[in-house]
Amino acid sequence: MNLNLPAGKLIDISLPLDARTFHMRTYSGFKKDMQFEVEVIKDYQDGGYGQIVRGAHMRLHAGTHVDAPSHMLKGAPDLQEVPLRAYFGDAIIADVRHRGGGEAITPADLEKAMGDIILPGDRLLLRTDQNQDYDGSPAWMKTSSLCECCGDRLVRREADIANRI
Ligand SMILES: [Zn+2]
C-alpha cells in the first residue's frame, strides 16, 4: 500500500496500552465488563513452531484510538470506511494544558491557543498532558474535554470557509 506520506517527521501520539494501568468505565447498559487483558494462549515451550501466541481482550475504545463516526451516529461510516490517509498529516496543536481534569475547554481557550488558523479538513490536537498521569483511576477519567460550543464553533468555521470557496 502506498500512502504517499509527506516527507518529514512522523510523530506517534499513541499511548502504550497496559493492563496494569488502563481501566475503562463500564456504564449501565453494557452487556459485560471487558477490560484490556493480554493472554498467552501458547508459550514458546508448548510445541508448535516454538513461538509465543498472544490474544487480547479489549474494547475497541481502549487506550489511544479513533472513534468511528458510527460510534455515536447510527448508520454513519464504520472505521474501515474511513480512508487510512485521514490519520496522517499535519495538525494544529492547541495547547490547553491549563485546563484540569473535568474542566471544559472553552472557545476562548481555543482562540488563545490557535487563533483563527484552522481551515476545513485540518486536524486539531488538544494538548492537555493529562496522559502524564495515566493510571485509570476515577480521578484520571475526569479529563478535560471540548465544551459543546467549541464543537459548534469548529463546525461553523468549516462551514463558513466552505461557503466562501
Ligand atoms: Zn472511543
Spans of all domains in the chain: 33-88, 89-165
User: pTM surpassing 0.75?
Assistant: no
Specify whether the CB–CB gap between 143 and 113 falls below 8 A.
Answer: no
**CA of 72 relative to ligand 1 center, distance in Å:** 9
Q: Which residue has the cell 499511548?
A: 15
**Using one digit for the tens of pLDDT, what is the confidence trace for 92-126?**
889 999 998 889 999 899 999 988 888 887 888 88
**CA of 18 relative to ligand 1 center, distance in Å:** 17
**Using one digit for the tens of pLDDT, what is the confidence trace for 42-81?**
999 999 999 999 999 998 888 788 889 999 999 999 999 9
In 29-135, DSSP assigns E strands to 37-42, 53-57, 91-95, 104-105, 123-127
**CA of 107 relative to ligand 1 center, distance in Å:** 23
Ligand 1 ion local residues (Cβ < 5 A): 61, 67
The torsion of the CA quartet 136, 140, 142, 143, rounded to 10 degrees, works out to -110
